[in-house]
Structure 1
């Protein structure tokens, strides 16, 4: 009887210790979660980031005062522009630009088949390799003589200069295409379902949409501190535990009024932060603009290859060699029937 009592006491002690351990772990996790939520709330609600990034207009211009090597200032001089679409491309990515011109970025197709005035431009810097820069630049000049859709400034085209490329887009739009209803920024490895995008934007105009910034939203994302990461941001550059909310830079759309606000923000915020989509979030935060999630903007992800997806998708990221094939599949006239179930009914009835 005495031995059984000791065993019971021992089991109770073990249970008590385990219960205490579990509760301690839960309390630590809760504190961390609560701290994360608090930090995210502060980052997205207060203006101390704006004050930290604030600089004079003269300093701002020194960060982005690059000469145009290739420009088309009359690109938007024609009829009212529904969408100004800037594709961020690198000088060496000719094949990607060719694929876009032949598919979703073909202005003639968009005007003829969709009845929309869309202007597509490729934003570029200069080739990063000094030894090959001259020959690559001559190739870009020949390319632009044929297509007339390159906008290039005299900065080195590298990952760490992507924020300069963002400034190029918003400042070019302010100077040469301020009446465009919408501005879209996209990577050159993205697929855009242009009919779906045009239909979506036309619907927004009917609704009188304002304060629009739409894409795949990152909320409360923390800076990456690992030095071996491509996205490493040192504490000295950004000392807070999370970024303001922002959309994935692979593809997002802003309305005309938001584009004007972002341009104004670039005039007094330090653009040395080289994560361009995060800097976009800082600019928007300074102007009181919040991003809106749209399920059919895939962000950094690639949409599944499936007919039911094609009928709704707007963007899909990570397409280099398959843009032409995907465009052909997505534009198949039978896609709408399949996605609505009619195609499946036809298949069933034929069996």
Structure 2
């Protein structure tokens, strides 16, 4: 029996070349691979198998808060002053001005001073309070949370434009902090403090980005069902949940968090900041947490998770609250949609399409349900839509 040594050498060369190529690819892509696979596995294991973050409360319980500053020399902590405010937004028409309206939802939209077109699109579509009242029979208050323009040279002109805008619409809530990414936690604190002081009787509080689409008819129906349920609307924090997510350590990332700020390999569970809803009792608990916890964590949805963990509140997953991605456009999706992220320029067209009465006729009946289930499977069970609705949403 003769062995073909030439063939053996060729096989060895191919194996060596293949191994080298794979190693090179791993070395080149290691940072991305480590972030998306290795760090997530390590973080998830740590979060659920090793440590449940019983220590988190004491670690973040520091007297000085990121959103406050010293007043004079006495060390008293005060919040940023309001530049634009509407204290009576949630009050009724009583002559004494002290009667609270029965507000189903207080909806805070996180916006930047320069995003006038986005705010206007929201006012014309899903954020139109008159439409919600007349067509859906629900009392919803929509306000926009703002800081001051980050460019000092443009700040005065921009502030004048914001004052004119607010005079026309009366829906801007602005505090005197610089409106930047690293002040998003300050903006989150603004929302819960404003709710506590000026709209404490609202059944629900929602926080949303200004590039989000909210299917208001579906959201109102969902919230009304919760209110009418036997258990009522208590201990609710619902959205697109991130479980066991790791801090991003890459310095070139927008979401970079250094070890000095957060030394642990996993965040507490939290919902995507693009859009989530809490019940009134949870809003009150988060407000209390912001008074006691160090808010130096500038990623606002993570800070929300820290506050919730401190107060014993856990997030609940809803299949049709979007994460960081945009939901697919299809009438079988609109029938269940609550939120979709990444709509900076197409809010009006999507609103018109998603709220068309004929949308619901497509999914009615046995054949309609079968058809829409099949369509949702094809659309949602693809990796491309992993940051919007999960594959499980196709079967709801």
TM beyond 0.5? yes
* Partner of residue 61 from structure 2, selected from 23, 38, 54: 54
What do you get for the CA RMSD once the two structures are aligned? Answer: 2.6
Asked if 1:241 corresponds to 2:255, the answer is: no
Indicate if the aligned counterparts of 2:44 and 2:243 stay in contact, CA closer than 8 A: no
- Which residue of the other structure, out of 112, 123, 139, is the alignment partner of 2:145? 123
Paired with 1:333 and 1:252, the residues of 2 have a C-alpha distance of: 26
SS in structure 2 of the partner of residue 195 of structure 1: helix
Match of 1:327 in 2: 351
Task: State which of 185, 196, 206 in structure 2 corresponds to 1:184.
Answer: 206
With the length of structure 2 as denominator, give the TM-score of the two structures.
0.77
107, 120, 124: which one pairs with 1:98? 120
Structure 2 Cα separation of the partners of residues 258 and 344 of structure 1: 38
Q: What does residue 160 of structure 1 align with?
A: 182
- Structure with the larger RCO, 1 or 2 (CA within 8 Å, 6+ apart): 1
Change (3 A) 1:165 1:60: closer
Cα offset, 1:209, TM superposition: 2.4
CA distance in 1, matches of 2:310, 2:235: 14
Change (3 A) 1:34 1:331: closer
Q: Distance in 1 between matches of 2:68 and 2:90?
A: 24
Q: Where do 5+ consecutive residues of structure 1 fail to align?
A: 5-30, 346-351
In structure 2, the gaps of 5 or more residues are 4-37, 70-76, 93-100, 370-396
CA–CA separation in structure 2 for the residues paired with 1:121 and 1:309: 27
In the other structure, the counterpart of 2:80 is 66
Q: Is the 8 A contact 2:193 2:287 kept in 1?
A: yes
Q: How does 1:208-219 map to 2 (within 5 A)?
A: 208-219=232-243
Paired position in structure 2 for 1:14: none
Shift of the 36–342 alpha-carbon distance from structure 1 to 2, 3 Å rule, reads closer
In structure 2, relative to structure 1, the CA distance for the partners of 1:137 and 1:41 (3 Å cut) is: same
Q: 1:60 and 1:121 mapped to 2: Cα distance?
A: 20
Aligned length: 323
Higher mean C-alpha displacement, 316-325 vs 334-343: 334-343
| Contact residue 226 and residue 232 of structure 1 kept, 8 A | yes
Residues 40, 244 of structure 2: 8 Å contact kept: no
- For residues 290-327 of structure 1, give each alpha carbon's deviation from its aligned partner in whole angstroms, at most 9, with x where no partner exists: 00000010121211100111111000000011000000
